[in-house]
Amino acid sequence: MQGKPNGNRAIVKVRMQVPPDFPPSFDPAVRARLAKTKPAGWTRKELYGLIHFNEKKCTVVPKLLNVVSSWQDGPEMPVPNGYLVFIVMEELPGVPLGDFWNYPLPKRDMIRASFAKSLDELFSFHGRPWDCRLENLIYDEKTDKCYFVDFEGIDVTEDKETLEFDDLYFYIWHLKHESYGKIYQ
């Protein structure tokens, strides 16, 4: 990226075509015959979601800063002349929630309340997440805000009614769970 430093940090996701079989051929000409110029469905889905939520000014997703599409140049690449996409987005403040269950109950309750607000906002822009793992949530304690990441797992469904928050989503996202009739919060 070019421009003056502004103190903000970014994350770059690299999406590239890889051979469908392992081990791939050692012959670059054989691998080059597999080349596609259009990115795979998951990459297109991720880009569509990021662009959609950014255009709608959704505040619970990372800002998309740039997308650079190219091709794999050189015989040493996995698929010579195959697609290569760089997705540049802001690095969100906070921490991934993979360790959610190690936090004390008051902090978990704060995170749940923040999550409910954030999921409501995502729903208001027709987002329907289905990859509901704690690792796809980032919580910023300073601003008490929860963010959604990993956009291959979020559908945009403008042709359907918006969803409404329900406590069931705490269970779906593993922010609460039940075992043998006991609810864990």
In this model, does residue 55 exceed pLDDT 80? yes
Longest distance between any two alpha carbons in the chain, whole Å: 60
**Second-level CATH architecture of 95-184:** Orthogonal Bundle (1.10)
Q: Kindly compute the dihedral angle of the four CA atoms of residues 89, 90, 91, 92, in this order, to the nearest 10 degrees.
A: -120
pLDDT digits (tens, 9 = 90+) for 119-129: 999 999 999 99
Which pLDDT value is given to residue 135? 95
Which pLDDT value is given to residue 8? 82
DSSP class of residue 73 equals -
In this model, does residue 64 exceed pLDDT 70? yes
Indicate the pLDDT class of residue 3, thresholds 50, 70 and 90.
low
Q: What does pTM read for this prediction?
A: 0.85
Residue 165 neighbours by CB under 8 Å, 6+ apart: 116, 119, 120, 123
In this model, does residue 4 exceed pLDDT 90? no
Question: Across residues 135-144, what is the average pLDDT?
Answer: 97
pLDDT digits (tens, 9 = 90+) for 73-116: 999 999 999 999 999 999 999 999 999 999 999 999 999 999 99
Indicate the pLDDT class of residue 26, thresholds 50, 70 and 90.
very high
**Percent of the chain surpassing pLDDT 70:** 96
Can you give the residue ranges of every domain in the chain?
10-90, 95-184
Question: Across residues 158-172, what is the average pLDDT?
Answer: 92
Mean pLDDT of the chain: 92
Closest CA to 114 of 94, 91, 90: 94
Q: How far is CA 32 from the centre of its chain?
A: 29
The tokens describing 25, both together, are 């051929």
